[in-house]
Amino acid sequence: MGQEPKANLRIDTIVGQHAAMLSERLQAHRAQLFPPNASKELRKFTSGEVADLLGVKDAYLRKLSLDSKGPEPEIRGNGRRYYSPDDIVALREYLEKGAKVPGTYMPGRRDGDHLQVISVINFKGGSGKTTTSAHLAQKMALDGYRVLAIDIDPQASFSALHGFQPEFDLLDGGTLYDAIRYDNPVPIRDVIQKTYFRNLDIIPGNLDLMEFEHDTPRALAQRDGNLFFTRVGDALADVEEDYDVVIVDCPPQLGFLTMSALSAATAVLVTVHPQMLDVMSMCQFLLMTSNLLGVVAEAGGDMSYDWLRYVVTRYEPGDGPQNQMVSFMRSMFGEHVLNHTMLKSTAISDAGLTKQTLWEIEKSQFTRSTYDRAIESISAVCGEIETLVQEAWGRTNGA
């Protein structure tokens, strides 16, 4: 019996049609959320939220307001005080002047501190890598650090969270690829864009980043003198003095771009979902990473880090198998596993439907307990990472 002939259907054609339809629908969705001439803006924060960010009492902020010290908050009909992102920066600057310990309210780099470059990685999609990267970058910006976020994932989810639709907004380039390409690279400043967050700049991503994976084998074959694993670090050197922290959202694969980002990194954060298949996948990722980065190190790459940590993501405390897996990881990796976890939360996933994080969305859209649990979890993880950054700068106990 002969083989049935294939249907007269070209997969490239139908996939292209689906991509065009989806892109058009996503653009319409964005236009509905944000009109064509509008851009994303960060909401104002309640005095209670600002007090938590600054580490002071709400009553103290009220007294400052009554004494006309610091920025004047917006007073709404319910008598609650709201502060803009600029107000939060102004409060930090005001409070820092009277701080007993330098850096209490302005915690960024001082003379002699090196730029912190945190590469966030995982081999498996769905590990919460982009969610973790975005919340960390935004929280550190809110906490007074000057942050540069770099999206080197061609899928560009991090960029989408910050208001970019790559196939519409980056038609003429504008990704990190332009700054690290082998022929005619542009200065990295040319691809850095401001965001609606004070202290947070971004280099968005799109499919152009795949070109680096294609170009590098040719450069290696031609024995190009420009080593691929130094290119991200070399580009960042031009803006090193402008930032305290760089956060790199890496793709879920270990290609040349990820290896270059790891070579530029001073710290590595590995996201892991505490399920057996995810941990097995991470095992293979770690084995491959060790082998490949060993080769890079032998070729002269800098593989020394200030710290490496695993962060448990999408964690459900009531899930027995997940608890066993977390205990398993802690028994093996000890202090390399962060003490705090990123909880799985409907608040995070619901915020993502409108391309927002928990720092952006109004908390009134959720039940208070749901929002509070999620934000406390994220704040604890970010706080632990900020402590590691401070320790890398030689500061302990806030000194």
More confident residue, 221 or 97: 97
Confidence of residue 363 (pLDDT cuts 50, 70, 90): confident
pLDDT of 226 reads: 63
User: Strand 81-83 relative to strand 45-46: parallel, antiparallel, unpaired?
Assistant: antiparallel
pLDDT of 245 reads: 98
pLDDT of 125 reads: 67
Per-residue pLDDT at 19 exceeds 70:
no
Per-residue pLDDT at 68 exceeds 80:
yes
Mean pLDDT of all residues in 276-290: 77
Mean pLDDT of all residues in 328-351: 91
Are the C-beta atoms of 57 and 63 separated by less than 8 Å? no
Give the angle subtended at the CA of 133 by the CAs of 174 and 266, to the nearest 5°.
85
Task: Look up residue 65 and give its DSSP letter.
Answer: H
**Averaged pLDDT of the chain:** 86
pTM for this structure?
Answer: 0.87
Q: 108-138 burial string, b = 16+ CB within 10 Å, else e?
A: bbeeeeebbbbbbbbbbeebbbbbbbbbbbb
> How far is it, in rounded angstroms, from Cα 161 to Cα 67?
39
Mean pLDDT of all residues in 331-360: 90
> How far is it, in rounded angstroms, from Cα 117 to Cα 216?
23
Mean pLDDT of all residues in 378-394: 97
Confidence of residue 36 (pLDDT cuts 50, 70, 90): very low
pLDDT of 246 reads: 98
pLDDT of 284 reads: 76
> How far is it, in rounded angstroms, from Cα 343 to Cα 345?
6
Confidence of residue 37 (pLDDT cuts 50, 70, 90): very low
Mean pLDDT of all residues in 137-141: 97
> How far is it, in rounded angstroms, from Cα 120 to Cα 247?
7
Q: Which residue is it, tokens 């990722």?
A: 285
Beta strands in the chain (DSSP E): 45-46, 74-75, 81-83, 116-121, 147-151, 193-194, 200-203, 245-249, 267-272, 307-312
Q: What is the tens place of the pLDDT at every residue in 228-276? A: 888 999 999 999 999 999 999 999 888 899 989 988 999 999 998 888 8
Q: In angstroms, what is the C-alpha Rg of the chain?
A: 22
Where does residue 392 rank: exposed (0-12), middle (13-18), buried (19+ CB within 10 A)? middle
Q: What is the tens place of the pLDDT at every residue in 42-59? A: 899 999 999 999 999 999
Confidence of residue 387 (pLDDT cuts 50, 70, 90): very high
> What is the helix (H) or strand (E) element at residue 290, kind and residue range?
helix 276-298
> How far is it, in rounded angstroms, from Cα 115 to Cα 15?
43
Confidence of residue 303 (pLDDT cuts 50, 70, 90): confident
Mean pLDDT of all residues in 370-399: 91
More confident residue, 140 or 285: 140
Q: What is the tens place of the pLDDT at every residue in 102-116? A: 899 999 999 999 999
Are the C-beta atoms of 297 and 146 separated by less than 8 Å? no
Q: In what order do the strands lie in the sheet with 74-75?
A: 45-46, 81-83, 74-75
Per-residue pLDDT at 163 exceeds 90:
no
pLDDT of 64 reads: 93
Q: What is the tens place of the pLDDT at every residue in 173-193? A: 899 999 999 999 999 999 999
Which of 31-35, 222-226, 291-295 is least confident? 31-35
pLDDT of 31 reads: 59
